[in-house]
Amino acid sequence: MTIKAGEYNIKAGDMALNTGRYVQTITVINTGDRPIQIGSHYHFFEVNAALSFDRESTLGYRLNILSGTAVRFEPGQAREVELVAISGRQHIYGFSGEVMGVVDPKTSQNTSKKRIDRRIYAEHFGPTTGDKVRLADTNLWLEVEYDLTSHSGQHTDSISIGEEVKFGGGKVIRDGMGQSQLLGDQVADTIITNALIVDYSGIYKADVAIKGGHISGIGKAGNPDIQPNVTLPIGAATEIIAGEGKILTAGGIDSHIHFIAPQQCETALMSGVTTMLGGGTGPAEGTLATTCTPGAYHIHSMLKATDAIPMNIGFLGKGNVSLPAPIVEQIEAGAIGLKLHEDWGSTPKAIDNCLSVAEEYDVQVAIHTDTLNESGYLDSTLGAFKDRCIHTFHTEGAGGGHAPDILKAIGETNVLPSSTNPTRPFTINTIDEHLDMLMVCHHLSPAIAEDVAFAESRIRKETIAAEDILQDMGAISMMSSDSQAMGRVGEVIIRTWQTADKMKTNVVIWLLINRLKLSKH
């Protein structure tokens, strides 16, 4: 079976269009010599005078068609169309200026019975309640739980469509149609239309309002003068971002960045990462190997250098020192936290000193532990923690740390473990690419036997394979890149999905194998 990245699995059936609303059918003749195209939300009473029909009967009515579509009348053509009464406050403004106020659409014995195929709807507005979306090229699927852009909102058993907003030529968000006459302080600065939102609260479809640079509302956007259930009004002061067919979710946080080049930020943004935490000073040997921005000068310089980059950035100072004052001055210079790295000497005394200062100043500490076991084994490092909270990077060990025991740190209640994406997930090329990456980023020489042994001690297929399971269990709770050292800044999110995909597939295979074993007995 061919997998199509991001494909939809649309629920079978159709949906009601403008259900319960008055409708009427009229015959329209284009008496002009040019084609005339009328959009879904144009007040039909005020269309081009070259269209001939019983105009008085259409006061307060519009075309009963899928939102954002249109009907085209060719010169000399006569065609029958169905109109639907406008909703909302039933105030008409704009168009030819003939009304400019309240209207009272005539009642009708008929209400809308139109249905729209769900697949056609998805082509225009993306998936809705009950539809599924494949995450990239994985076997992970999102199912839409409810849709706030429909009349029914969270009442998934009675979806009624027809009032969605969409920007473009002949579409909905135009003056008097999906755009109201409200003042700037009464409307959103920006609306993201028809986005599929994935957040802690669920998976759902909605419009999103932004005001003053912050998300101010999630719901149904539009013009309350002619549309029902509008919670996010659109006005002349509103910009539009098209969210149809896109997933909107919280920006990713990459907590392990070697800040070597500004181009990293663009790549991260393109992948969905909006916060980068780490250290470095640019293309220096210390930065290639460690995520430390050492000292006040470098911290100030990096803050200035990244000030214009549209990314949330935090720099870790160097925590490898055995007296408090050098750490204090880095915190006061603007370091967001401290990093202990074995290449600067992650000794028990340095660990204890760094954590003591961090406790006093309420900042976080991250650590890359001692691969060499030079000052002691893992227990010595855990003892230096003294039950204080600390973040252990690439806790599996391929990125560095007590060989081969660092994985045990996951069991400590005060340790926040994470993975870095070069080992995620464990596949056929994972081991092969690691040795060269490690030698380069840690300034090691293939001509020195001890350097090679140091590198090889960190790369173990057994612990990398175990990391798959520990991530799936949630025992390892974070993913980061180790960007420009051993990792790829643009792959944090996709490798998280791929790890989940692999474990889902492995569980299915395991169940099938065990079922076969049972059937043999």
| 173-223 pLDDT tens trace | 999 999 999 999 999 999 999 999 999 999 999 999 999 999 999 999 999
Q: Is the pLDDT of residue 511 over 70?
A: no
Q: Is the pLDDT of residue 238 over 70?
A: yes
- Tokens 């040795």 belong to 435
Q: Is the pLDDT of residue 156 over 50?
A: no
Verify that 322 and 366 share a domain, yes or no: yes
Task: Check: CB of residue 294 under 8 Å from CB of residue 282.
Answer: no
Verify that 347 and 419 share a domain, yes or no: yes
Q: Which amino acid makes up residue 240? A: I
Of 42, 69, 102, the residue at which a domain comes to its end is: 102
Q: Which amino acid makes up residue 197? A: I
- Domain that includes residue 452, residue range: 252-508
Q: Taking residues 415-423, what's their average pLDDT?
A: 92
Most confident of 353-357, 416-420, 434-438, 477-481: 353-357
- Tell me the residue length of the chain: 521
CATH of the domain at 463: 3.20.20.140
Residue 143 exposure: Cα atoms within 13 Å on the Cβ side: 4
Q: Is the pLDDT of residue 508 over 70?
A: no
The CA radius of gyration of the chain, in Å to the nearest whole number, is 30
Global model pTM greater than 0.85: yes
Verify that 395 and 269 share a domain, yes or no: yes
Partner residues linked to 37 by β-bridges: 72
Pure H helices in 280-373: 285-289, 295-305, 325-333, 348-361
Of 209, 234, 249, the residue at which a domain comes to its end is: 249
User: In Å, how far are 26, 32, 53, 251 from 79, measured between CA atoms?
Assistant: 8, 14, 10, 49
pLDDT of residue 518: 61
* Residue 8 covered by a domain: no
Ranges 96-105, 385-394, 402-411: which has the least confidence: 402-411
pLDDT of residue 155: 47
CA dihedral 103, 104, 107, 112 (to 10 degrees): 40
CA distance 239 to 343: 50
CATH of the domain at 154: 2.30.40.10
Per cent of the chain over pLDDT 90 is 77
Q: What is the DSSP letter of 462?
A: H
Task: Check: CB of residue 80 under 8 Å from CB of residue 215.
Answer: no
* Residue 366 covered by a domain: yes
Q: Catalytic amino acids? A: 442
Verify that 496 and 359 share a domain, yes or no: yes
